[in-house]
Structure 1
Amino acid sequence: MHTFQLLDTTLSLFSTAMRPGSYRRRPKFSREEFTPWAVKWLALLQDMGFFVEIPPDLPESIHAAAPNAPTVRQGTFYANQYEPLPDAEAGGEYITDTPGMDAGLPSDGQASWLRLRGCDHGLPYTECGFFDRLMPLRDVLEFCPGDQAGCATALAVLWLMRGGRRVAGSIGGSALHGPSSGPALEEVALCLENHEVQTGLRNLHRLPEAAALLHKAGFTVSSHKPVLGKQIFAVESGIHVDGIAKNPALYEAYAPESVGLERSIVVGKHSGRAALRLKAAQLGIDLPEAREGRLLAVVQKMAVRQQHSLSDRQFATLCESVNLPSGRKQRAVTTSTKSAATAKGATAAKGAKGATAQPEKRHG
């Protein structure tokens, strides 16, 4: 069976960024702190089925922990070799690198790969024989498309679905590491699985742990980042909430649980009654249908006033205020009015008492 290999180069990117004069964004930890972080990263990604590239300057203990992990050989990078690729008429020249890879993979025993980089603007040429000319090299060619045009994930997926064997990239992709870091591997993986392609990956519910490790390194993942973002399954619009409640597949390309996330209902100015009902049920609140209209009005008013959606605590407080019985509300209002009147009367009495205590004016 044709198997794919998704190679993560995050450790190499970080190692390069920590060298003097590097243009890459530097992690916030020192090289001494990098080693234990790298051990956790390596164990996590291998548990999910990704291959991990280990830079040669990491301690031997890391290499010993993963004897089958690809290792970049020193002195084998030939950067900025410009070669025109087949049928690249208007696309000009593409950058190709050929780093030697000590794969050490027990599955195929292959000792080296050729890494094809760049090709940022190659998407229009995929229907003009671009990949066909490369297929004779598919068993030794490792594709790492750039993301200057925002097409790295699409190029990587097409390469694999057309018969390629291996893609190099990084968890988080260009959003975290820059356009030359290749495609976001988590996006490539989910695209393939959405097309019912067997990737050999597993335990992708641990992807939030990868996002947490990246955050620890100083790389904050956007809450709306595909696959990794915490809020990608949060819905507010009424029609979307109603649709997801009836058939989640209408709006979700993959189940939240498959990537370690949860579906959540957010209430705000775009919410409808369906969203209120689902959110109340999610929080275990009994919301009578007769109260929905009034609750919707106050929810939308508060969301507009604070210019963002409501927190769970705010929503629960509004539900409680709306669900108060009429008599209880009236008593609360009456008590409040009486208290105000009492306070006003006390102030007036105090003023009168002060006036009485003033000494009487003497005449004559």
Structure 2
Amino acid sequence: MRDGEQTPGVSLEPEKKVWIARNLDALGVDVIEAGSAVTSEGERDGIRAVVKENLKAEICSFARIVKGDIDYAIDCGVDSVHLVVPVSDLHIEQKLKKDRETVKSNAIEMVEYAKKHGLIVELSGEDASRADLDYVIDVFKAGVEAGADRLCFCDTVGVLRPEGTYDIFRRLVTELRVPVSIHCHDDFGLATANTLAALKAGASQAHVTMNGVGERAGNTPLEEVAIALKYLYNVNTRIVLENLYPTSKLVSRLMGVPVAPNKSLVGDNAFVHESGIHVHGLMANTATYEPITPETIGRKRQIVLGKHAGRSTVEMALQGLGLTATGQQLDEITKRVKCLGDKGKHVTDADLMSIADSVLGRNTEARIKLIDCTILSGNHATPTSSVKITIDGQEVVESGVGVGPVDAALNALRKSVSGVADIKLDEYRVEAITGGTDALVDVWVKMSRDGRVISARGSGPDIIMASVQAFVEGMNRLIQEKNGIVKKP
């Protein structure tokens, strides 16, 4: 939560820090670096709030080799300090305007000071990957003699290579008498590889962040290291693997940093399949195209439809909706799905069900119909929406408020069907926008009811009405399924 929170544009209030810390603790993280106490009073409030949680994990504060930094950490009541000393000549001469011996002497003094005040000390060499390794080891040995409990080699700008990392850590663990940590950045996309190389060479601790958040290109992702250790190296950790995805989603939401769809393990696409060849293999054995099951990290497999979908993909998707089709019907449904995909559309569950309705000759007239939707929003007004719908011909009028006009409209719709169904909005995103003031927007929603999840889409020049259209379509499908309207022909 320190290096991760240094992601550009991210600032966590104390309650958010506590929320994340609780989840990291439940995940099985051994040490939580809750922040840098010298940063601000608000940062200190956040660190103190985490300390008060009395978590199982050791709570740490970042500190420079400056007495004031350590004093602030002591005042926050943390268990340990991550005491960082620049060790490359570039940092020593250009940033600190000092020399090697002065920096080493300052490091020794601050280690002794922190130990005297009862803190666990992890002495960290900043920019160690661009430093003279002999000097790094000299500083580390002096730090251990002064009382440092752990040491950390920092690849501050991500320039390590896995083979070089292994050699460095073999030397470090051979010459030093205390646990050694690896701290990597992902500037060249090698953070996980370098971290695993260090652990293989004998490092006993890895500095990681959830989703790989952090400065510039970020830090080593916790989820990648934990899963790689387990499934590639057969090494168990105390990480509760099934908590990885829920924790990933929480961190992404609270930090406001979306996870890339193609991000390993926790990205939206990590366990999503479209290709007909792949889905055909999955139907025989999921291991054909999945190295681990999605349930391992608290996820579920998804089958999506588009132009790459084959007969097997469509058949599996229909089964998930409780539908079966003859061979000829399946061919026709597949043809129409591909046609929609060729137009650049993301084929939602609602789209598939509409196509199936037509091909299978099912009459599924919408139970919910939107009659009117009005929005009140402005600089000084709470966004408010009023909707008029009919449910099975019965008129319902409801209003709702929200943080914005779309939120207000969807809240009003949820309230309007509360007597029929408890429907939740799980995900909402704008998938495509054309240019110009009359831009066409494509809204995609994922909704759920009693554990059943469905996706739907709405399009148009008005983002509010496109959102309402998608939500009404999804509500109809969820209510129809729950009440037995979706049946096998």
Superposition TM-score, scaled by structure 2 size: 0.53
Structure-2 residue corresponding to 1:123:
161
Question: Does residue 1:45 correspond to 2:24, yes or no?
Answer: yes
With over 3 angstroms needed to count, the CA separation of the structure-2 counterparts of 1:73 and 1:64, relative to structure 1, is same
CA–CA distance in 2 between the matches of 1:42 and 1:134?
Answer: 31
Q: Which amino acid aligns with 1:81?
A: V
Q: Which amino acid aligns with 1:199?
A: T
CA–CA distance in 1 between the matches of 2:52 and 2:292?
Answer: 36
Structure-1 residue corresponding to 2:44:
58
With over 3 angstroms needed to count, the CA separation of the structure-2 counterparts of 1:103 and 1:46, relative to structure 1, is farther
Secondary structure of 1:262's counterpart equals coil
Q: Deviations over 1:137-174 (max 9, x none)?
A: 3733211022121111011112212321001121111x
- Once the two structures are overlaid, the 10-residue window that deviates more, 314-323 or 64-73, is 64-73
Structure-2 residue corresponding to 1:26:
9
Q: Which amino acid aligns with 1:154?
A: A
CA–CA distance in 2 between the matches of 1:128 and 1:186?
Answer: 21
* Contact 2:245–2:298 under 8 Å retained in 1: yes
- State the Cα distance separating 1:179 from its structure 2 match: 4.6
Structure-2 residue corresponding to 1:250:
288
Q: Which amino acid aligns with 1:52?
A: I
Q: Which amino acid aligns with 2:279?
A: V
Choose which of 146, 152, 158 in structure 1 pairs with 2:197: 158
CA–CA distance in 1 between the matches of 2:161 and 2:321?
Answer: 46
CA–CA distance in 2 between the matches of 1:260 and 1:104?
Answer: 35
Superposition TM-score, scaled by structure 1 size: 0.70
Choose which of 243, 268, 273 in structure 2 pairs with 1:230: 268
Choose which of 342, 358, 369 in structure 2 pairs with 1:321: 358
Q: Which amino acid aligns with 1:266?
A: V
- State the Cα distance separating 1:12 from its structure 2 match: 4.9
Choose which of 226, 244, 264 in structure 2 pairs with 1:189: 226
Q: What RMSD, in angstroms, separates the aligned Cα atoms of the two structures?
A: 3.1
Q: What is the aligned residue count? A: 287
Structure-2 residue corresponding to 1:217:
255
Structure-2 residue corresponding to 1:72:
61
Q: Which amino acid aligns with 1:143?
A: I
Q: Deviations over 1:180-204 (max 9, x none)?
A: 7431111111111112211121153
CA–CA distance in 2 between the matches of 1:149 and 1:187?
Answer: 16
Structure-2 residue corresponding to 1:132:
170
CA–CA distance in 2 between the matches of 1:204 and 1:61?
Answer: 27
With over 3 angstroms needed to count, the CA separation of the structure-2 counterparts of 1:103 and 1:168, relative to structure 1, is farther
CA–CA distance in 2 between the matches of 1:27 and 1:180?
Answer: 14
- State the Cα distance separating 1:278 from its structure 2 match: 0.4
Secondary structure of 1:71's counterpart equals strand
Structure-2 residue corresponding to 1:312:
349
- State the Cα distance separating 1:127 from its structure 2 match: 8.1
* Contact 1:143–1:168 under 8 Å retained in 2: yes
Q: Which amino acid aligns with 1:82?
A: S
* Contact 2:24–2:247 under 8 Å retained in 1: no
With over 3 angstroms needed to count, the CA separation of the structure-2 counterparts of 1:28 and 1:78, relative to structure 1, is closer
With over 3 angstroms needed to count, the CA separation of the structure-2 counterparts of 1:129 and 1:48, relative to structure 1, is same
CA–CA distance in 2 between the matches of 1:69 and 1:127?
Answer: 27
* Contact 2:273–2:279 under 8 Å retained in 1: yes
Q: Deviations over 1:319-338 (max 9, x none)?
A: 1111128xx9xxxxxxxxxx
Q: Deviations over 1:89-122 (max 9, x none)?
A: xxxxxxxx989794499xxxx9632221117332
Structure-1 residue corresponding to 2:341:
303
Unaligned runs of 5+ in 2: 38-42, 66-82, 91-103, 123-146, 364-489
Secondary structure of 2:34's counterpart equals coil
With over 3 angstroms needed to count, the CA separation of the structure-2 counterparts of 1:138 and 1:153, relative to structure 1, is farther
Which protein is richer in strand relative to its size? 2
Structure-2 residue corresponding to 1:149:
188
With over 3 angstroms needed to count, the CA separation of the structure-2 counterparts of 1:192 and 1:313, relative to structure 1, is same
Structure-2 residue corresponding to 1:178:
215
Higher relative contact order (CA 8 A, sep 6+): 1
- State the Cα distance separating 1:80 from its structure 2 match: 4.0
* Contact 1:215–1:221 under 8 Å retained in 2: no
Unaligned runs of 5+ in 1: 1-9, 18-23, 85-96, 329-364
